[in-house]
Structure 1
């Protein structure tokens, strides 16, 4: 029940969970979506191989295998959606109508060939999103993977990089996996406009780390807080590092 309330609050108040890794964001999105009331619609991509491979060589990459691949920049091969969920557009579609890469949308209706959405925080105009045909860049895989799929993904949680340019009111930063660079941490810390609107989640054992990495990361956070906010962010920790406890933690404080 609280997950349903949480989702509604995220949508209405422009809240988001920011993660350092895409896998962490996907795991949170999947878990939250499973606990949201409503029918889940599964949409499968059409994947093909484009290369100089012979027919025999191409047959070595069946569609079942291609759908297990998740290269950067391509939408999921198996896309699960529910009406009312926030999603993020993964490609520039119609900049004149603010439908750009990174735009957050609210799912209105799910069809086999088109999605009906509204821009989060925008007008009430309904926009139509068709399936896109997208390909991987040369060198990403031993072959060029072409995928026809809706260019969206669920966006309760997103990577820190994807949060750039987002208008957010409340932010939770998941630092259970450390950031790659200092600048990435700075981006995450600058998403909210007030210390009261940000929560930082650290690993439970960060205070008991055997090396100095934890102290260094904590000092970076403290310094960035002082640079960006008038008062310190309360660094919250949970008793269990499990995803379930993390979701409960977020719902309980938001």
Structure 2
């Protein structure tokens, strides 16, 4: 009992120290000047210092014994790797290779919106190959490779009354040609079976100077997700894959 009490005291102290550090980071009162630039030093015990392959190392740290637990809904529900941008979530593809179930690929259909006043000119300039390479927030990629047991995140509201809302996480249970069957991993509908249809989506990214439509399943693999998309998620084990500085005070 004494050993258990000491262990609990040590754990409480670690949590208290970590909470105080997080608060100081948020207040902007913990910083060090490195080469004339103010930077926050991350405590060494939070870092993965020894690795050969950075993606394999953070996957092993965040998803230990993944092959054994890849069909455990609670295991997948509690974990995620976070990255700053869409370009940095390549660990999703790495983790799909660790799942040995048969894969299913879905290709999207892209076309210029006829409502765009420059439609007649754009359809000759922006070929299907060009449109297929466009990646932007809240829109699925040209090709989605899925396997049974892979967690996905919904990118659009489909049926809010049924819990199918933007940002909800699901685990794929069956593939169809026009629908994907999945169980909910987050929110109030955990464990419920849902059906995800193909949808026609129009990206609203202001960086794209024209409108086009994309018909695809409104989902993306969510072993790894952007920090922005992680807002609202409840996670017990989180890995941060930071290939560039991204924090600012406030």
TM-score normalised by length of structure 2: 0.66
1:74 partnered with 2:139: yes
Q: Which has the larger radius of gyration?
A: 2
1:30 partnered with 2:93: yes
Conserved in 2, the CA contact under 8 Å of 1:9 and 1:15? no
Distance in 2, matches of 1:142 and 1:124, equals 41
Q: Structure 1 residues 88, 175: CA separation in 2 closer, same or farther (over 3 Å shift)?
A: same
TM-fit CA distance, 1:140: 2.9
Conserved in 2, the CA contact under 8 Å of 1:21 and 1:177? no
Gaps (5+ residues) in structure 1?
Answer: 184-254
Per-residue deviation, residues 143-192 of structure 1 (Å, max 9, x unmatched): 10210110000000111111111011111122232224345xxxxxxxxx
Distance in 1, matches of 2:71 and 2:249, equals 32
Per-residue deviation, residues 210-237 of structure 1 (Å, max 9, x unmatched): xxxxxxxxxxxxxxxxxxxxxxxxxxxx
Matched with 1:130 is 197
Matched with 1:18 is 82
Matched with 1:176 is 243
Matched with 1:86 is 151
Partner-residue secondary structure (3-state), 1:59: helix
Matched with 1:40 is 103
Which residues in structure 2 correspond to 1:1-254 (within 5 Å)? 2-5=65-68, 7-8=70-71, 12=75, 14-25=78-89, 27-50=90-113, 51-55=116-120, 57-121=122-186, 122-137=189-204, 139-183=206-250
Distance in 2, matches of 1:142 and 1:169, equals 40
Q: Structure 1 residues 123, 142: CA separation in 2 closer, same or farther (over 3 Å shift)?
A: closer
Per-residue deviation, residues 42-75 of structure 1 (Å, max 9, x unmatched): 1011101012235454122221221111122211
Question: What is the RMSD of the two structures over their aligned residues, measured on CA atoms?
Answer: 2.2
Number of corresponding residues: 182
